[in-house]
Amino acid sequence: MPSIVQDSDPDRPGVHPQRALVTFGGCDYLGLSRHPRVVGSAIRAAGRHGLSTSASRTTTGDTIEHRTLEQELAAFLQSGSAMLTLDGLTANMAAMQMLTGRVNAAVLDERAHPTLALAATAAALPVRMYRHRDASDAARVARSVGGPIVLATDGVFTADGAIAPISELIDALPDERSALIVDDCHGFMVLGDSGRGTANAAGHSPHDRLLVTTTLAKGLGCSGGVVAGPRELLEPARDRISVYVCTTPASPALISAAREALRVATDEPARRARLFENAERFANALAHAGLAPPKDPATPIFAFWTGDETDMRDLRRRVLARGFDLPLMAYPSGPVPCYFRASVSADHTEAQIDAFADALAGCRGSA
Ligand SMILES: Cc1ncc(COP(=O)(O)O)c(C=O)c1O
């Protein structure tokens, strides 16, 4: 069951006792973070390898788990190569560092995840923005920079589940040296053939001008990051980029767990089917409550807002009192400064979604 234990009054942590809530937050889309096979794999691997490699992979910190997951992810994502990183943030840093010297600037969707701008800055690339999901504006900004650039976007946007126009963005690249980075933290394991992601759903595999990054923390419920791209770009980077050479990799226990999570996702395709059924049920419930703004129908993330921040804090408190966690966000790159960001998982039951919708409608009525 998707549940969390937290303070029952989020504005006064520690004052009230903690309790379990049914959560409509987080990004454990397939419910794999608590799957017994996945958790069991982590425990066994911790016994074999310890919790940490305690050194970078380029020194003494490499394991068979890391090397094998890279091969498995390259095969799954249909890319020439895959490079594991500590997390999704460092996957974006690695992708930007790989392109240093080849491009002059990073041109980002104005609502791209903040880690993309951070990664570009860390790679000493000037950052420019284009209008949200507007490929013709991306082409305009790219031309105004002059020379090769890297476009970067979320595949599925964190805040509201909108999907980036991948094919149009590839067409917007100004020349052969330019590239597109798709941060697919929320599309990986969700969209595309068997969860191969947003680029796959748009008909693309990673190639010389298309790098895909993702986290292992969401769709696979573990921890770690990955860059998928062509062998010619990724393999030489293992000797060169600081974010790979100079950091301890994700725990071998979690990498082993991610391998098992990938197998579970393949063995249990009904999980994705249930995710989409739940997303549709949730979308209908929000529409019924008069809360649903238009959105891409295929993703399990929903953003909505019901008044000013004080009203929404009150609504959240009333919903919490009925045993449901509905995250209120003031997170960068959102559609408005403060919004509810709800998400569903394959593990939600129909009864939980219906009960949540009733609670939400009841709480609004009792405002
Ligand atoms: C779109 C996006 N990119 C990158 C990240 C960073 O991933 P990680 O938490 O594994 O560092 C996140 C996580 O919240 C994300 O939502």
Q: What is the pLDDT of residues 60-112, one digit of tens each?
A: 999 999 999 999 999 999 999 999 999 999 999 999 999 999 999 999 999 99
Q: Do 190 and 160 meet the contact criterion of CB atoms below 8 Å apart?
A: no
The answer, yes or no, to whether residue 9 has pLDDT greater than 70, is no
Taking the model in full, what pTM does it have?
0.94
Average pLDDT, the chain: 93
The answer, yes or no, to whether residue 146 has pLDDT greater than 70, is yes
Fold designation for 36-267: Aspartate Aminotransferase; domain 2 (3.40.640)
293-312: per-residue pLDDT in tens?
A: 656 667 999 999 888 889 99
CATH superfamily, with its number, for domain 3-24+269-365: Aspartate Aminotransferase, domain 1 (3.90.1150.10)
Task: Give the atom of ligand 1 at the shortest distance from the alpha carbon of 157.
Answer: 1
What Å distances lie between residue 274 and 41, 106, 178, 185, 190, CA to CA?
Answer: 24, 37, 38, 20, 11
Is the CB–ligand 1 distance for residue 219 below 6 Å?
no
In the chain, the N- to C-terminal Cα span, in Å, equals 29
Is the CB–ligand 1 distance for residue 348 below 6 Å?
no
> Which residues lie closer than 8 Å to 338 by C-beta, 6 or more apart?
305, 309, 312, 328, 329, 330
Beta bridge partners of 82: 228
pLDDT at 115: 98
Is the CB–ligand 1 distance for residue 357 below 6 Å?
no
Higher pLDDT, 119 or 160: 119
Domain boundaries, the chain: 3-24+269-365, 36-267
Is the CB–ligand 1 distance for residue 158 below 6 Å?
yes
pLDDT at 19: 73
| Ligand 1 pocket mutation, candidates 84, 86, 89, 254, criterion most atoms within 8 A of CB | 89
What Å distances lie between residue 279 and 29, 268, 327, CA to CA?
Answer: 10, 18, 17
What Å distances lie between residue 214 and 50, 147, 226, 333, 362, CA to CA?
Answer: 25, 27, 5, 18, 38
Ligand 1 centroid–CA 89 distance in Å is 6
CA 70 to chain centre: 18
The answer, yes or no, to whether residue 15 has pLDDT greater than 50, is no
One DSSP character per residue, 196-240 reads --HHHHTT---BTTEEEEEESSSTTSS--EEEEE-HHHHHHHTTT
| Phi-psi category of residue 292: left, alpha or beta, with phi > 0 → left and psi -120 to 50 → alpha | beta
The answer, yes or no, to whether residue 149 has pLDDT greater than 70, is yes
* Tokens representing residue 218 in the block: 């969401």
pLDDT at 293: 61
Mean per-residue pLDDT, 155-182:
97
Nearest CA to ligand 1 atom 7: 88
Length of the chain: 367
